[in-house]
Structures are given as structure tokens and as C-alpha cells.
Amino acid sequence: MSLRAALRFALLGQLVLLSRATVIDPAALDACPGYRAKNVFTFGPKLTADLVLAGKACNVFGPDIEQLKLEVTYETTDRIHVKITDPSDARYEVPASVLPRPHADLLVSPHSASIRFNYTTSPFSFSVYRASTHEVLFSTASHPIIFEPQYLRVKTDLPANANIYGLGEHTDTFRSPTNNYTRTMWSRDAYGVPTGTNLYGNHPIYYEHRTSGTHGVFLVNSNGMDIKINDTEGSGTSLEYNVIGGVLDFYFLSGSETDPTEVARQYAEVVGVPAEVPYWSFGLHQCRFGYQNFVDVANVITNYSAASIPLETMWTDIDYMYKRRIFTVDPDYFPLSRMREIVDYLHTHNQHFVLMTDPAVAYLPGQGYGPFDRGTSADIWLKAANGSSPFLGAVWPGVTVFPDWFNAKTQDYWTNEFKMFYSPDTGLDIDGAWIDMNEPSSFCNYPCTDPFEQAREQDLPPARTTLPPDPNTPIFGNAALSKRVDHSHDDVQNPPYAIANFAGSGALSDKTAYTDALHANGLIEYDTHNLYGTMMSTATHNAMLARRPGQRTLVITRSTFAGAGTRVGKWLGDNFSQWDHLRQSISGILGMAGVYHVPMVGADICGYAENTTETLCARWAMVGAFYPFMRNHNADTSISQEFYRWPTVAQAARNALDIRYRLLDYIYTAFHQAHTDGTPVLNPLWYKFPKDANTFGIDTQFFFGDAILVSPVLEENATSVNAYFPDEAFYDFHDLSRTYVKGGGFVQLNDINLTTIPVAIKGGAVLPLRASGAMTTTELRKTDFEIVIAPALDGTASGALYFDDGVSITPATKTTVSFAFKHQTLTVKGTFGHPLGVNVARVRFLDVQSAPRSVKVNGKTVEKSAIAHDAQAGVLDVTLNTPFTRGFTVEYQ
């Protein structure tokens, strides 16, 4: 979205009152009667009970439900499912079609579980505690549960200054603030991603870390909610859910007492493991809202090549559309024949192409607009509250309708539109999909009684401001390369409890589809609003699969809910070209990749809105090389910021991409591991050093994969950074020198110019690195490996390499290699199913302080000419130049 559009509607929202959020007295709520547990029955891993109102109803935001049903299930030895529902009413629950539920092991014994459920009957409260230590992890004691038609409240006490991570999407610190803090979940078009507000996506999961262990709590609820965290003097931290509908559906995850990443793997068992993405998607992506015509797009591709900056994928924002209508191209500015020429050129040069697709479809009855006509014929639009006419909004093309993803016919419609418009034979053969505005966003101010008038007032669709190019302009001439829920008695437009929605006036329906908009299955947006982006993601993923059966998809979305990462990746939305937004991006990617299982994530490098500077863009290019999804993207009202525009930024980008490409197989292997079991691909420092309290709040450094510590410069005009090094050996990625701070501590890293970034290898890692210099990922896969061994303090190291064809969902062949270093011997073993097709050029042993007496490969002494020892750096190089087709050993004495 452009700054121009944002000034029309989004900035107004930033001036309105967060004060619309309901302010309630916690003491008054704690005085409510709560419930008594009756008819408690336990059978194997399952406990059930009736919860009966224990006294005079509070009726805080409506009548208290008099009787509830409790179900507690030990689903695995590490997971407890606690569900509280109203047995007399078919209340909304997140449909299994959107978030499939995990299978439970019916043979689990509560006595063998690592966490246990405990309760009191009168008044009813429950707690979850760690079996090994009896430490309470979650407890509602002294805080009665409140369960009303449009208000649910659950509150737990936690330790003082609790270490809470998650509950996103947000741009606050990675460790949640605990002083009178509210995290709101209600998807909105959040231009400028302001801190302390609700943003695009919703993930009601948090990890809590203590030195005694890490656990997780997941509330499966897609209704709007405020989650309030507050430190109370002398009584620790409280965390309180205030939800405006649905049911209480909790998963408690035991995590681990020693390894914080175990809770991430357990969460993956609930929401699904992340999708594997194509190998090529880890290259550099370039986009801009504001490329005026096909000549602009072609020139960017040419200029990246001329600047020797590896460009993998060219993207085009909504500029290419005719009057901002999806599944069209502007015949004057982006004629189909010239766009196909660009796509063909990219594919010929082993590069790729991605286009934007929004959910809003222009409302053009009788005007021959195929996407609208076909959708109308299939009757797949989201309906107004009357259930017959389509719900109308105002978005880029003017008045619009919205696909109803719950309609059984919508997937076929969406797949067909992708098949027709993105046809390799007659349309634009895209390699990935980009979906935006899917909160869903509407520019219509509430109450939107006349979307046609609002569209006229906002000049939608916006007129072109430049003349079209000559359609024959030469390009590339010099290129180098559910169930129905009764809401009849509910106020779904203005619920009695008002969450802190920051959109427009704060009304739930402002800037989005109305909360009373009706889906084909009888559900309304009041309940399902937070699912819209994820459902569009699923439909788009399926449409891309239909285009290229058997191949992995790259779909990048803006709005997400729990489980979205099983199908799509994400970018962090409309940030600004500001230093604090560069800094916030680290917290954002750690949340998505490290907690929510959406690892293919990145922020708009150099900033989306406002004008970047050479210094900011250079620093951001370096950080962006360690986003899993690396894309430069900015707005039509900002200056151009392609990396080649400044010599310093161009060099920074070349240097950063050189590091990224050398590490590409390392991070590709990490993604495969994440897809296998949910192990995070990005890690905050405390994931690796859970006993070191100094790491708990650090979100200006992070681990890229398991072992690459990134410590960027994040302040303007700074040339140094105070980086924290935990109690382990670390090796500078550039010169391989060792740093060790006994017990852990901060180290001042100085003289960091604009084209470098501090990167270190954590001791204990074996890295399979590529040679540098490739301009595409296709070329990269033809370069040799070098193996770098960075010993831990105990003298050992390990690593892995996964390799396949890079595109298939189920590859016909795979190569899986393990590396182990112990007693000065590297052992390489594996199953070499998919040909690597390259050599191992050399092996590099770090922290070797003296020249070896001898070096052997597979037990045979190698010639001295193949050995080089740098005494100052402590690096021993052994040249191999042997085909990487089998395992081997290298040892030195």
C-alpha cells in the first residue's frame, strides 16, 4: 500500500483512541463467582466434568453461562488439551478444515506425562505443572473463569518479570513487555506497523522460559481478543485472556527443562510443520510498488546484472494491472506480449518471476470482467448480512467483492483463475505467488453505507500519472543476464467488550469486511475474520500446486493465523525506512520463524515507505541477507532503492549475498529439518543458552540456523556494536579467528564499515559451505563445497547436509550427510542418493594452534602440498578436490 493511500485512511487510525479498548477492574472480575466442578469423571487419559455457576452471576459483558462442559485429555506425554464449552449452545470453534487437530494417543497414562493437570472443585480452578519438579506453569487459582456469550476471561499467575515470547504478530520486543501491556488480536491493514498495536496476523501461542525449563500455551480461538500482561508489585506477573467469542480451547506443551527448541517441535505437532520451499526461493528478490511500465521492470533486471549483484527473482506489484483489477494486465503500460518477453528472459537466465494477487475482485456487473462474472456465476462471494447480496468494500480497483473461502466452490474458482491468467502458454508463467490485503483490507470507512461514493472520494482506482511507453521499446538489448452459530442475540458490530483494535475508528468492521458478513457455511466474519488471510493462503497454495503438480510452491502472504506456515511464507508488512524498523524486523522474524512456524519470513529491506538513505539501505542489505526470505521492496511515493543505486549499498549487497550463498545449503538443510520435526530455522540466543539470563531479552542478535550468530549494526552512524557472546567458543566468519568470553559477556566489535556485518560461527558446528561468486542459485549448485569445522570448548563439532532436486515435494532421490568431529578426526557419512555433482574442495579445521605432524584422508597420509596452516588465525586447510559422492575421514595429529 502506498503512502498516498495510507494518508487517506491508515494514519487517521493512528490518531484514534486505543482508549476504545474496554478498561475493567481486575479486582472486580476476580470477585466474580466462577464455577463449581460436578460429575467429575476420569477414564484413562481423559477427564470430564460439568462446571456450574458457583454464585450470583457477574454478568460483566452479558449473562454468565450457567453450565459449562470441561474436557481434559492427555494427548501425548508432552501435551494436555483443555477445552471448556457451552453444552447448550453450538458456539463457534476454529474449523478443522482451517486448522486440523492433532491425533491423540489414547493409551497415554497421566502418570507418565511430563506435565500434569490439577484442579479444585469449588470454586473451580485448574493448574498445569511440571511432573519432575512440581513447578506450576499455568494456574487460574484466585481468578475465576468468566464465560459469557461475547466475553471469555481466563487469567493465570506467572513469575515476576516473566519471559514470555510469542502472541503475535507484533513489532514490540521479542520478549513481551510485562508492565501494563496489551496484545490485541484482530487482523488489520497496519501501515507503518506501529508498536503496541494489532497487526496483520494472529498467533495465540506463547512460550514461557524459565531457567528451570521452557513450556508453551496455545489458545485455539480466532475471535478478537486482548491478552493483557502485567507485573503486580509483590505478586509476580499475570497473563489474562479477554476474548469476544468462541470457546476456551487450550493446548499445554511441556517443552523441556534443558532444550527450549523442544517446545517448538511440540507446537509443530499441533499446527503442522513448516512447508519446504524451492531452493531458488532463497535467492535475492526485487520488487517495487511504482514501476511505471514494462520498460522499468526490464531495466531493473538489466541493472542488477550490470552491477554484478545476484538477482534471483523479479517481482511486480499491482502496477501491472489494468485499473488495479486482479488477473489483468494494463495493455498500454504492461502489455501481455512484453511481459511474457520479460518472463521468458528471466527463465532463460535461470531467474524467476512473481506477481501480486489481491483477494478483492472489482465489482463490475455487466462489464465483461471475467473474474467477477465467473465468481458471480459460481456464487462464491462473501455475502452481506442479508445472506443474498454480496458484501461490498472499496479497495484498489474501486468497489469490490471478496471471495468466500468457506464456500465449497471457491477453490475451483481460484484455481481456474490462476490457471487461465498464469498460463505458461497464453498468460504469465509465474514461479511464485504474492498475496496481499488479505486481512481482508478495505478502504471503506465504517459505516460504509455507500462504497461507490467512498470509492469516488478516494479516487479509486487511482489514475496513471505517466504516459505509456512505446509498446515496441527495446528491452534487454545490453543485458548481461463449519457449522452454523446463532448470533441473533449478539451485537457483532459493537460487542460489549471492546478489544483494542487500532484500525480507523476502532470499530471491528472498520477498514475490513463487516463482522456480520455471511459465509456459505453460515459462519460470520465476527468469528472467522482472523482466518481470512490463512484461508486465502491455502487456496493460493492449492492453485499453484495445480499449475505445477508435484512441485513446491512459494506463496508469500501478509495475514496469517496459526498453522499458516504449513503452506506459505510471509513478509512483515508495510514498514518504514527507519532505523527502529530495521531493529524491529529482527524481533518480527524471530517470532515468525522461531515461534509461529512461518520460517520463510522477511521484512521489506531498506524499508517500504518513506525515503531510505544510503547508510540505512547498506546496513539493511547486510541484515536482510540473514532473513530467510530476502526481498528489497518499497512504495511508489519513495525514492528508488534498488541495491545498485548507491556504490556503497551495491558493495554491501554483493558482500552480504556472498555470505548468504556460501551458507545456502546450510540454511536449506535447516529448512528440511524444520519440515521434518519443527526445529526452528532462526533462534534467539536463549534457545541455545537457556541458563544464561543475559540472553533472555536480547533481540538485536540472533542465530541464523543453528550456529551462525549475526550481530548487526542497527544504529545510524555507528561503526561498532556491543555484541553478546555466551559461554562457548565463537569463530569470526570472515577471518575464522576465535573469541571466547568465559561465563559469557559483551564484546565491543569496532571498525565495522557499511559493507560488512559481524557474523560468527558457534563452536561445535561443522558447516558445508559453497564457493562464492555465483549469480544465480542454479549456478551456485554447480560450485564446490568446503567443509569448515569449528570445535566447541570440548573439542567436538557436528553438522549436516541435505540435498535434493530443490523443487519436488517428494524428491525421487535425496542426499543426507552427517559430519562429526572428535579427537581431531572429521568423519563424513551419508546416503548419496541425489548427485551433488561437485567436489569437496577443501576441509578447514579451526582453532588449530600448531602445525600438524601429519594429516590423513581415509587413513592415507596426504602430501604436504595439500596442507596449509595459518598459525596466526589457527586455521588448518586440507585440500581434497575429491568428488562429493561418498563419505570420508580427515584426521590430523
DSSP annotation of 225:
E
Positive or negative, the Cα torsion across 341, 346, 352, 358? Answer: negative
CA–CA–CA angle 286, 291, 296 (5° rounding): 85
Catalytic residue among 574, 636, 786, 847: 574
Pairing of strands 398-401, 432-435: unpaired
> Count of H helices and E strands in the chain?
16, 47
For residue 712, whether the previous peptide bond is cis, meaning omega lies within 30 degrees of 0, is: no
* Grid cell of 836 as nine digits: 551433488
Nearest in space to 737 (alpha carbons), one of 588, 870, 543, 597 = 870
End-to-end CA separation in angstroms for the chain: 61
* Grid cell of 325 as nine digits: 483489477
Pairing of strands 248-256, 163-168: unpaired
How large is the C-alpha radius of gyration of the chain?
A: 28
Going by C-beta distance under 8 Å and a sequence separation of 6 or more, which residues neighbour residue 800? 669, 673, 816, 817, 818, 819
Nearest in space to 718 (alpha carbons), one of 759, 751, 744 = 751
Catalytic residue among 169, 208, 439, 699: 439
Measure the CA–CA gap between 614 and 569, rounded to whole angstroms: 28
- Is residue 436 flagged as an active site residue? yes
Catalytic residue among 436, 706, 786, 891: 436
Map residue 481 onto helix, strand or coil. coil
Ordered DSSP codes for 611-662: ---HHHHHHHHHHHTTSSSEEE---TTS----GGGSHHHHHHHHHHHHHHHH
SS3 content of the chain, % helix, strand, coil (to 5): 20, 30, 50
| Contact yes or no for 365/372 (Cβ under 8 A) | yes
Measure the CA–CA gap between 328 and 319, rounded to whole angstroms: 11
Ordered DSSP codes for 370-432: HHHHHHHHHT-BPBPTTSSSBP-EEETTEEEE-B-TTSTTHHHHHHHHHHHHT-TTTS---SE
* Grid cell of 464 as nine digits: 496513471
Helix axes 614-624, 579-594, angle to 10 degrees: 10
444-to-4, 9, 16, 643 alpha-carbon distances in Å:
15, 9, 16, 36
Q: Taking the CB of residue 459, how many other CB atoms lie within 10 A of it? A: 12
CA–CA–CA angle 859, 860, 866 (5° rounding): 125
Pairing of strands 630-632, 604-605: parallel
- Is residue 805 flagged as an active site residue? no
Nearest in space to 804 (alpha carbons), one of 796, 813, 817 = 813
DSSP annotation of 576:
B
- Is residue 439 flagged as an active site residue? yes
Give catalytic residues, as residue numbers. Answer: 436, 439, 574
